[in-house]
Structure 1
Amino acid sequence: MMSIENNKKFDLKALEAFLAAMSCGSMTKAAVYLGVGQPAVTRMIKELEVAVGFQLFHRNGPRISPTDRGLRFHEEVQRVVAGLRQIGQRAEAIRTEKVASIDIAATPTMAAGLSGPALKLLADDLPHQVNVQTMNAEYVIRALRSRTADFGIAANPIDHAGMVRHVVCESRLVGVVAESSILASSQDPLSLSIFSERRLITVGNAFRIRHAIDQAFQKLDISPPSEFATNTSLNAVMAARSGLGVAIVDPVTAYGVPVEGVKIVPLETRIPYVWELLSDADRALSRHLSAFVDAFRRGCVATVPDCVVKSPGGDAVLADIHQSS
């Protein structure tokens, strides 16, 4: 049992039943997944609804669909249950005297493009248990503050309050075109002027990549005639491969998640892209966590061709960050 601020008690089995119902889409399938009877799942979720004070699912016969509040509650339950599982893993590591796990919260871009290369460089220091959870940047910071992650990896802008910046890397956005495109045969950097007559493909978050692109377009008085907006750079790369237009994406995705059938093209106009490795300021780094900091730095340099590792400032645990790999 565990309590939260309103002093109500929540049974872990009820929370797991809720997660199963959300994933499976029905009480019956959730019961099969959990290996219990369907009435038990229904009862646990009804009791959970009474405890939280709001409806978690809309019910239409055997069919269920989450309410808006249920969806928001789902995010919280996922985080809490993941934290409890991590406690179990850490307890097992203490019992067996094995190296504890590394828990990483990262945006999808960082998880896909950089977590693998960095973890591989740990070699013998790689723990038996590694957890990499993807989420948006705001939730990365939240995971660090709630201690459900050892490290967070995200692109700027990031909330640094109470955080230690271990590694800060800078590169630039790049263009991605289909190999069959006439643009793929050119050896010159891609001029943004081509977007005066071609479809722009990019990530639609107005506060991150898209904001930087819009600023560059405004300076050059460029207005693309059409666009393809998506929520991940990998989607943008795949759209470019299909010939839907020219993509502008982050270099971590472009180089860290290689896709056949496309060519990465440097942009004539430099649009900076910065990402960081962070931890909560109150978390002391063990030897294997410190080793990951160095491995992450080297992994970034090895993955992104023009990556420049910058000094994270005086608040960093590791004072000296070398440029070379």
Structure 2
Amino acid sequence: MSRENDRIFDVRALEAFEAAMSCGSMTGAARKLGVGQPAVTRLVRDLEAEVGFQLFHRNGPRISPTDRGLRFHEEVQRVIAGLRQVRGRAEAIREERLPSLDIAATPTMAGGLIGPSLQALGDELPDHMDLQTMSAEHVVRAVRSRTSDFGVAAYPLDHMGLERHVICESRLVAVVSDSAPEAELKGVEPLPLSRLDGARLITVGNAYRIRHSIDLALEAERVRPAQTLSTNSSLNAMMAARSGLGIALVDPVTAFGIPVRGVTVLPISTDIPYFWGLFSAADRAFAPSQMRFVEAFRTACQGIIPDCAFQDPQDPDLLKRVGNLMRT
């Protein structure tokens, strides 16, 4: 590797760029950082020279990020978050406080499980906690790069280099409106998939996760919904069901972890498995107080998801079975 590739970016330049992105102007960035505008402008220009591409389009005092600038900003955000984490850890060591807790989670897991998990820690909550939501792929990336202590996401995912602390199994559920015309389904438990034949199906659109499993189940039972409403969020699907737009098939973490008034959650007659878990970098060392979050997470899952079953996170056959769900 060349010496040029070993060079480290000026942290002040990265902070100036991050501030300019968040404030939308060099003037705002200067106020945020407590320095003069010329200093911010110089730092950003030096960073552009260092990376070899333009970060901002400039039109007088106004700036807007370039496409490359937007992509680079995602990386800078992770670096800045990591630096803040280091600063927080240093303060905790100096003052002999409980270490901070940094968690990366998908929106489903963050909304349905992380709050109750932290609450279960009680008096052992650290002084500083950080929860960032992102896609499952970015959760894995944040854990591997150590900008997050723990990651929480649905399986399957790329588990190489990860230590799996908890793997939970449940199954998808149906969500129907409490008002007509779906109200008649409230007493039908479990709900046969055949009730979706000729109806409007509401579900998530990720072809490699929930949606693939749903499509396989419908095909196996020769069920053909008349219409489909796809969204990128199970919560969106639940809200659409509440409006009477159709029958939603969603994950149990959203259905039970983020209660929505005006709907009823029903088991379905066909088991469509759903797995999720808590993991960290494989070689990460944790303080005992941080590891107690693992047990708190288990407690939250057990208390929120009615039929939550814990699987052996070290079982290689389990991981193969989870992976096969997406390839069947």
Is the alpha carbon distance of 1:261 and 1:63 closer, same or farther for their aligned partners in structure 2, counting shifts above 3 Å?
farther
* 1:171 positional shift: 0.6
Are the counterparts in 2 of residues 168 and 312 from structure 1 also a CA contact under 8 Å? yes
Q: Distance in 2 between matches of 1:98 and 1:138?
A: 32
Find the residue that maps to 1:6 and give its secondary structure.
helix
* 1:92 positional shift: 0.5
TM-score (norm 2): 0.88
Q: Give 2:187's aligned residue.
A: 187
Q: Which runs of 5+ in 2 are unaligned?
A: 317-328
Amino acid at match of 1:313: Q
Find the residue that maps to 2:54 and give its secondary structure.
coil
Is the alpha carbon distance of 1:289 and 1:216 closer, same or farther for their aligned partners in structure 2, counting shifts above 3 Å?
same
Q: Which runs of 5+ in 1 are unaligned?
A: 316-325
Is the alpha carbon distance of 1:132 and 1:37 closer, same or farther for their aligned partners in structure 2, counting shifts above 3 Å?
same
Are the counterparts in 2 of residues 178 and 242 from structure 1 also a CA contact under 8 Å? yes
Comparing 80-89 with 243-252, greater Cα deviation is found at 243-252
Amino acid at match of 2:114: S
Deviations 1:132-178 (A, max 9, x none): 11111112121222122221111111112122111110111111222
* 1:62 positional shift: 4.2
2:96 aligned with 1:97, yes or no?
A: yes
Q: Distance in 1 between matches of 2:41 and 2:224?
A: 54
Q: Give 2:289's aligned residue.
A: 288
2:270 aligned with 1:253, yes or no?
A: no
Find the residue that maps to 1:177 and give its secondary structure.
strand
Q: Give 2:14's aligned residue.
A: 15
| Paired residues for 1:1-325 under 5 Å | 6-185=5-184, 186-188=186-188, 189-313=190-314
Q: Distance in 1 between matches of 2:315 and 2:274?
A: 22
Comparing 26-35 with 101-110, greater Cα deviation is found at 26-35
Amino acid at match of 1:138: E
Is the alpha carbon distance of 1:243 and 1:18 closer, same or farther for their aligned partners in structure 2, counting shifts above 3 Å?
farther
* 1:214 positional shift: 1.2
Q: Distance in 1 between matches of 2:225 and 2:37?
A: 54
* 1:229 positional shift: 1.9
Q: Distance in 1 between matches of 2:315 and 2:308?
A: 21
Q: Give 1:318's aligned residue.
A: none
Question: What is the identity percentage for the equivalent residue pairs of Structure 1 and Structure 2?
Answer: 62
Amino acid at match of 2:295: D
The alignment covers a number of residue pairs equal to: 312
Deviations 1:236-266 (A, max 9, x none): 2222222232221111111111122222122
Q: Distance in 2 between matches of 1:154 and 1:95?
A: 33
Are the counterparts in 2 of residues 255 and 304 from structure 1 also a CA contact under 8 Å? yes
* 1:36 positional shift: 3.8
Is the alpha carbon distance of 1:196 and 1:139 closer, same or farther for their aligned partners in structure 2, counting shifts above 3 Å?
same
Amino acid at match of 1:177: V
* 1:24 positional shift: 3.0
Q: Distance in 2 between matches of 1:202 and 1:263?
A: 16
Find the residue that maps to 2:86 and give its secondary structure.
helix
Q: Distance in 1 between matches of 2:266 and 2:59?
A: 51
Are the counterparts in 2 of residues 8 and 51 from structure 1 also a CA contact under 8 Å? no
* 1:303 positional shift: 0.9
Find the residue that maps to 2:199 and give its secondary structure.
coil
Is the alpha carbon distance of 1:61 and 1:169 closer, same or farther for their aligned partners in structure 2, counting shifts above 3 Å?
same
Is the alpha carbon distance of 1:251 and 1:23 closer, same or farther for their aligned partners in structure 2, counting shifts above 3 Å?
same
Are the counterparts in 1 of residues 99 and 290 from structure 2 also a CA contact under 8 Å? no
Deviations 1:279-314 (A, max 9, x none): 112113321122111111111000111111112226
Q: Distance in 1 between matches of 2:277 and 2:293?
A: 13
